[in-house]
């Protein structure tokens, strides 16, 4: 198994980590405060054209991220449609990238509307698809599970949808979300926590040696944990096939599942129409076997294969602004 040279280091800022995206010039407190005020004082349907303007501004000014997303799209299209003429492939990559920036603006609008002072119950609807019998049996056993999601669709609303489905905060199992700490988004994240009765735990650049122990204990006691499993936060990763190329994925989610003896459920939330979210919970991935590292590698590879299918169907909602396969040429 190929892994990074160190499995104990801190944040690797050269590996395309989430922290890199958090340095974008629009990612600051005044922008979030201004956006929140506007979105709480204007009628919802009038907001989307306004935020589309900011999406267009991001597309025009965030050149490095635009090039990285376009490079990702080109690799996906090469893998999915190898017979597509290069000129058409390039045009498609440009078009999908442009649409993705607009969709990211829509996602921001949804966040603000659904975490502000308005009554969110009348603003959004939720649907569910997936392997619920397996999840129900798992919860009946008294042990928890991990929902492994990705930067696809609206992962925050996915947590809200799962919370409503399982009755978190109303006698259902406790649900914790594991997030990379971004103080600029604190107001949004607190709003999600209130709506869904979530317990939020943050990952920072300063590694907490006791965090893994806390998470494993919670899972063994029946807690549910939702996290993003597609982008390495630090230098603990493995390489697995993804759209035809070896790709770095974090090993942490699989390791947590192995240590806690709970399954990983790939879970994704996308939208087909405005503020109508559909969450899918896929078949569980067990992380077990005589060789722990091989078991983790197999689990990560299975997750990557499932994610590949969902990304293929929702390319313009794949909000991974990192250069997945290295810097674009």
The domain locations on the chain are: 18-115, 125-317
Does position 152 have pLDDT exceeding 90, yes or no? yes
**Contact (Cβ atoms closer than 8 angstroms) between residue 318 and residue 151:** yes
Confidence of residue 168 (pLDDT cuts 50, 70, 90): low
CA distances, 311 to each of 153, 316, 318 (Å): 9, 9, 6
Provide the pLDDT for residue 183. 66
Share of the chain above pLDDT 90, in %: 43
Provide the pLDDT for residue 56. 86
Which of 74-88, 201-215, 287-301 bottoms out in mean pLDDT, i.e. has the lowest?
A: 201-215
Among 261, 266, 272, 277, residue whose Cα is nearest residue 300: 266
Q: How far is 19 from 39, CA to CA, in rounded Å?
A: 26
Provide the pLDDT for residue 142. 83
Confidence of residue 186 (pLDDT cuts 50, 70, 90): low
pTM of the predicted protein model = 0.86
Q: What is the pLDDT of residues 241-271, one digit of tens each?
A: 999 999 999 999 999 999 999 999 999 999 9
Provide the pLDDT for residue 7. 35
**Class of residue 329 by CB neighbours under 10 A (exposed 0-12, middle 13-18, buried 19+):** exposed
Question: In a 3-state reduction of DSSP, which class is residue 250?
Answer: strand
Mean pLDDT calculated for residue range 189-193 = 72
Q: What is the pLDDT of residues 100-147, one digit of tens each?
A: 999 998 888 887 777 766 655 667 888 888 877 788 888 888 889 999
């Amino acid at each position: 198994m190929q892994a990074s040279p160190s499995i104990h280091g801190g944040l690797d800022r050269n590996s395309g980590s989430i922290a890199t995206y958090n340095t974008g010039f629009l990612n600051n407190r005044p922008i979030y405060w201004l956006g929140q005020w506007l979105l709480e004082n204007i009628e919802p349907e009038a907001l989307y054209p306004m935020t589309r303007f900011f999406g267009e501004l991001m597309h025009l000014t965030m050149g490095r991220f635009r090039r990285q997303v376009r490079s990702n799209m080109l690799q996906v299209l090469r893998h999915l449609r190898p017979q597509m003429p290069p000129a058409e492939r390039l045009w498609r990559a440009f078009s999908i990238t442009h649409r993705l920036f607009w969709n990211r603006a829509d996602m921001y609008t949804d966040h603000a509307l659904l975490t502000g002072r308005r009554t969110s119950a009348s603003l959004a609807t939720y649907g569910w698809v997936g392997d619920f019998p397996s999840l129900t049996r798992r919860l009946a056993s008294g042990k928890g599970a991990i929902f492994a999601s990705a930067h696809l669709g609206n992962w925050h609303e996915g947590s809200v949808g799962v919370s409503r489905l399982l009755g978190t905060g109303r006698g259902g199992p406790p649900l914790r979300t594991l997030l990379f700490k971004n103080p600029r988004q604190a107001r949004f994240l607190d709003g999600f926590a209130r709506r869904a009765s979530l317990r939020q735990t943050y990952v920072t650049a300063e590694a907490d040696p006791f965090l893994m122990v806390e998470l494993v204990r919670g899972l063994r006691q029946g807690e549910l944990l939702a996290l993003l499993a597609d982008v390495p936060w630090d230098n603990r990763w493995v390489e697995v096939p993804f759209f035809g190329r070896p790709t770095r994925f974090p090993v942490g989610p699989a390791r947590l599942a192995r240590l806690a003896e709970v399954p990983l459920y790939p879970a994704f939330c996308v939208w087909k129409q405005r503020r109508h979210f559909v969450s899918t919970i896929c078949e569980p991935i067990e992380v077990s076997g005589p060789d722990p590292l091989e078991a983790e590698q197999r689990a990560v590879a299975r997750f990557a294969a499932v994610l590949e299918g969902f990304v293929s169907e929702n390319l313009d909602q794949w909000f991974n602004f990192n250069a997945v396969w290295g810097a674009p040429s």
